[in-house]
Structure 1
């Protein structure tokens, strides 16, 4: 089986939303919430389709998805615009094949090509640290009051960057 990475088309939207088809504790499907969240993110003016990718098998089955959005770190008058992984999902039967890692690496490559310096992610810190991310708590970055800094990770995209961003992370694209 070969896995191919590519850009998302509108025809892929419904399939992507159901990569997370599980019932939650209230008996509702995650896919429904996931689809609404993705639809909302795609309507934001700063949405860039270059930062939404899928993984598909050679039989054309979509088995993975990643979406990044630009966020903001404010430090006085200095503004930085890191990318943030808003969604990373791999179909349950295809986990443990490195698909998530391949999607993250492809996103890193596209981010570098576009001139971004870092990518931030919230959640699954052990997983992302296994991919080269570091705890955001090692940087002088504050997260919003209702967030746990230990759930955030960051990767600096350029070897020449020897310092983390500093300031307050503003999560506009939720």
Structure 2
């Protein structure tokens, strides 16, 4: 399938949110509010427009989306900037065709181009390692809530980006509402 990945336009916000809502509608581990999270992040200082990417089909319809937003890894007075990958979504009829993987790779590449050094994700333990994600606990990076170690992962976009980094991830207020 031929798809195009590019930054989301503000005129596509509604279509993107509908795509996200459709993608998570039947997901067992979803609270069905991922589209609302994206809306809140867009209105926060954690939003990076260049890292809100959409996948378009041949008709230019939004069929997938990924968002990387600003977070910090905090250890006392030490803070390190990072990114959160949340969410990535593809409408059901286009799932399992590699579109989600293309979105993830494109977002990580764009994040690297913008000078970002690491990404944190809470996700499926068997899916994200294929992109280089490893358990965040390897760097002594912890989630601010209870979550299985194998699902809370980090990726060094640049080599050694997380050397000497440890602490608790601090998500933007948008995640906490």
Interval containing the TM-score (normalised by the shorter chain): 0.7 to 0.9
Aligned to 1:9: 9
What is the distance in 1 between the residues matched to 2:58 and 2:3? 6
The runs of at least 4 aligned residues of structure 1 exceeding 6 Å deviation read none
Question: How many Å apart are 1:41 and its aligned residue?
Answer: 1.0
Alignment of 1:90 onto 2:109: no
Aligned to 1:110: 110
Is this contact kept in 2: 1:51–1:69, CA < 8 A?
Answer: yes
CA change 1:75–1:7 in 2 (3 A) is same
Aligned to 1:138: 138
Is this contact kept in 2: 1:4–1:57, CA < 8 A?
Answer: yes
Question: How many Å apart are 1:116 and its aligned residue?
Answer: 1.2
What is the distance in 1 between the residues matched to 2:98 and 2:85? 17
Question: How many Å apart are 1:136 and its aligned residue?
Answer: 1.2
User: Looking at CA atoms only, which structure, 1 or 2, has the larger radius of gyration?
Assistant: 1
**TM-score, length of structure 1 as denominator length:** 0.86
What is the distance in 1 between the residues matched to 2:171 and 2:150? 16
Aligned to 1:34: 34
Question: How many Å apart are 1:162 and its aligned residue?
Answer: 7.2
**TM-score, length of structure 2 as denominator length:** 0.85
Where does structure 1 lack aligned partners over 5 or more consecutive residues? none
CA change 1:147–1:160 in 2 (3 A) is closer
Aligned to 2:123: 123
Where does structure 2 lack aligned partners over 5 or more consecutive residues? none
